[in-house]
Amino acid sequence: MLSFHGIPQRYAEEGDDYPQRCDVTRQALAAALDYPAEQVLMTFQSRFGRDHWLLPATDETMKNLPSQGVNRVQVICPGFAADCLETLEEIQVQNREIFEHAGGGEFHYIPALNDDAAHVEMLRQLVIAELR
């Protein structure tokens, strides 16, 4: 499962192509893993306020997966270059609890790239390329 930070639905209705860009990432990951794209779920996290937010919501999806026969889940948050409260607390802790409380079994959070030397080097190269 890929969990992206959500945005209010009205942003997408007003032309923000964020949901489509997230889906491009989902499809690219499925292709790189040689996995059927329709089996790689894409959800949105971090809803707050009264606006309607992009769906499906990560927490609601976690709650429903066990009743759909899903006993194992791996979650990655590709929109985050480094782990933070939204990945460590919201996903790794809260959503794990939601999944397990609903009857789910194995929950694996795949960490962000964080301060890995290869990640820092890739970012350095991107900045240099953009400065040219």
pLDDT, tens only, 74-123: 999 999 989 999 999 999 999 999 999 999 999 999 999 998 999 899 98
> How many domains does the chain fold into?
1
Question: Is the model's pTM score more than 0.85?
Answer: yes
Rounded CA separation 77/86 (Å): 9
Name the DSSP class of 2. E
Write the single-letter amino acid at 79: G
Query: In CATH, what number is assigned to the domain containing residue 100?
Result: 3.40.50.1400
Which pLDDT belongs to residue 48? 87
Containing 27, the helix (H) or strand (E) segment is: helix 18-32
The range of the structural domain enclosing residue 66 comes to 2-131
Phi/psi of residue 79, nearest 5 degrees: -80, -5
